[in-house]
Amino acid sequence: MLRDTVLPQLQRQHDKDDFFFQQDGASPHYAVTVCRFRDEQLPNRWIGRRGPVEWPQRSPDLNPVYFVFWGVVKGEVFSLMPRTVADMIRFIREECRGNDDNKELCAKVCFSVASRLQEGVNNEGRQF
């Protein structure tokens, strides 16, 4: 998925060197082959465990995808009352693709990361 979908989309939307890719903490994302691929395709431009830019484990307060985006998407998706896994997948995809409000929200949240990082420093790394 990273090779065939995510990376090509990011490269279409951004100049080659003007973005960082943040990896979540899922164990399969840290297989040797995946890390090698990220190192080759995104040299010094990926954020994650044992990456060129370390990211604290279990840090939902610092990750915009966790502290806002999934909460919004989850609320919208569950309001549609999916009955099957296929429904759930379709609703999530539709919500992520077609909602300009979500895109605007994500942009605002991403710009708030610096202040959240400072809050983490102020709280000596504790969850806030």
* Tokens at 37, concatenated: 């691929």
Helix residue ranges per DSSP H, the chain: 7-13, 32-41, 64, 70-79, 85-98, 100-111, 113-122
Concatenate the DSSP letters of all residues of 38-58 into one string: HHHHSTT-EESTTSSB---TT
pLDDT at 124 over 80: no
- Coil/strand/helix, residue 47: strand
Do 99 and 58 touch, CB atoms closer than 8 A?
Answer: no
CA atoms within 13 A on the CB side of 11: 10
Do 50 and 56 touch, CB atoms closer than 8 A?
Answer: no
Model pTM score:
0.48
The domain segmentation of the chain, as residue ranges, is: 2-47, 60-122
pLDDT per residue over 31-85, tens digit each?
889 889 999 998 888 888 778 887 766 666 666 666 677 778 888 889 999 999 9
pLDDT per residue over 88-117, tens digit each?
989 888 887 766 676 777 778 777 777 877
Can you give the pLDDT at residue 87? Answer: 93
